[in-house]
Amino acid sequence: MNNKLSKDKIRILITGGTFDKEYDEINGRLFFKDSHLPEMLSLGRSRLDVDVRTLMMIDSLEMTDADRAMIAEQCAAAPGERLVITHGTDTMSETARFLEGRVAGKTIVLTGAMIPYKFGSSDGLFNLGSALAFVQVLGPGVYVAMNGRCFAAANVRKNKKTGSFEERE
């Protein structure tokens, strides 16, 4: 380990997921409107140099490989080397592995939430703080930051029963 922190601008790519779900009080369903990322960065008093791009606003169970190819393109085309991707947890590990190998020389950290930010008890703020820290320090590669931990893309899965992320055997 060493102590170098990157000062590069960080690009945040938004793809939706539980992070950004809201409650529609007219029909009682969960839905997507705008991302809460800017509000969360402001709440966290973040002074990082970031720019935020919304690529899509979908449940990750509905994410196709065409969507993933578009995310990979956006990662490759980004001017800087450090990216955070907000993503639904259900297929976060799959997207991480998809990006690995397709995007070289960049540090990419995927994160998300188990509870929508708007529901007042979200793990989203904790995870966002964590992902933004890991992306400043880790070398090139694709990672998943959840549960306070950081996993290499090749070695992570969501445990469907507990909802936690863990190493694959």
Q: Which residues are catalytic?
A: 18
User: Residue 23 in 3-state DSSP?
Assistant: strand
| Between 79 and 120, CB nearer to its own copies | 120
CB nearer to its own copies: pick between 70 and 94: 94
Backbone phi and psi for residue 14, each to the nearest 5 degrees, phi listed first: -100, 130
For the chain, counts of helices (H) and of strands (E): 4, 10
- Residues at the contact surface with its own copies, assessed by CB under 8 A: 1-6, 18, 23, 25-26, 28, 30, 40-41, 43-48, 59, 90, 114-116, 118-123, 125-134, 136-139, 141, 145-150, 152, 160-161, 163-166
At its nearest, how many Å lie between its own copies and the CB of residue 1?
Answer: 4
Would you say how long the chain is, in residues? 169
Closest approach of Cβ 53 to its own copies, in Å? 18
Burial class (CB in 10 A: 0-12, 13-18, 19+), 45: exposed
